[in-house]
Amino acid sequence: MKRPMTKEGFLKLQEERDKLRKIERPQNIKDIAEARAHGDLSENAEYHAAKERQSFLEGKIRDIEYKIATAEIIDITSINTDKVVFGATVQLLDMSKGEAKKYKIVGEDEVDLKNGKISLNSPVGRALIGNKIGAIVTIKAPAGDREYEIQGISFEG
């Protein structure tokens, strides 16, 4: 199954994988060797912690490699549509509060709520997809339904 992803998100995954492989894995190998040199491994907490860290790192590397292998990079700079689609940056107006909000719709591995990046599969993302400027969308939230007006759609690289 392919996972939609922006080029920016894909590059960040590659960067994280490379950091784990080239910096953290070698450091962990040194930590294991150093702890092993301290003697009795059965009661060596440093050794067990380093081995646990090694297992974590290898799992994380495998997970990232899977995400990279299954990524479908969507070039959002070539999208030309008046509808909300993957990669769109959407300007919204909260109809009840009068507050402006801005979200970029990204793949699940790129979500960053602090920077307004929401998942294509989130309730907000699903509600926005396919709508045009001027549409009023209802987003079901635990605190109750919220209505937003789509005020702008752009595709920023």
Which CATH number do you get for residue 142? 3.10.50.30
Q: Exposed (0-12), middle (13-18) or buried (19+): which is 135, by Cβ within 10 Å? A: middle
Do 38 and 55 fall within a single domain? yes
> Same domain for 80 and 150?
yes
Position 43 scores a pLDDT of: 77
* pLDDT at site 157: 59
Q: What is the C-alpha separation between 74 and 134, in angstroms, rounded?
A: 26
Partners of residue 5 on adjacent β-strands: 73
| DSSP 8-state symbol, 72 | E
Find the CATH number of the domain harbouring 13: 1.10.287.180
Q: Which residues of the chain have pLDDT under 70?
A: 157
**pLDDT of 143:** 81
What pLDDT is stored for residue 144 in this prediction? Answer: 84
Range of the structural domain that residue 87 is part of: 76-154
105 and 147 inside one domain: yes
68 and 83 share a domain? Answer: no
For helices 7-19 and 45-69, give the axis angle rounded to 10 degrees: 150
User: What is the model's pLDDT at position 131?
Assistant: 95
pLDDT digits (tens, 9 = 90+) for 57-73: 999 999 999 999 999 99
Q: One-letter amino acid identity for 53? A: R
Task: Determine the number of helices (DSSP H) and then strands (DSSP E) in the chain.
Answer: 4, 7
The model's pTM is 0.79
Total number of domains in the chain: 2
pLDDT of residue 135: 95
Output the six-digit token pair for 142: 């635990």
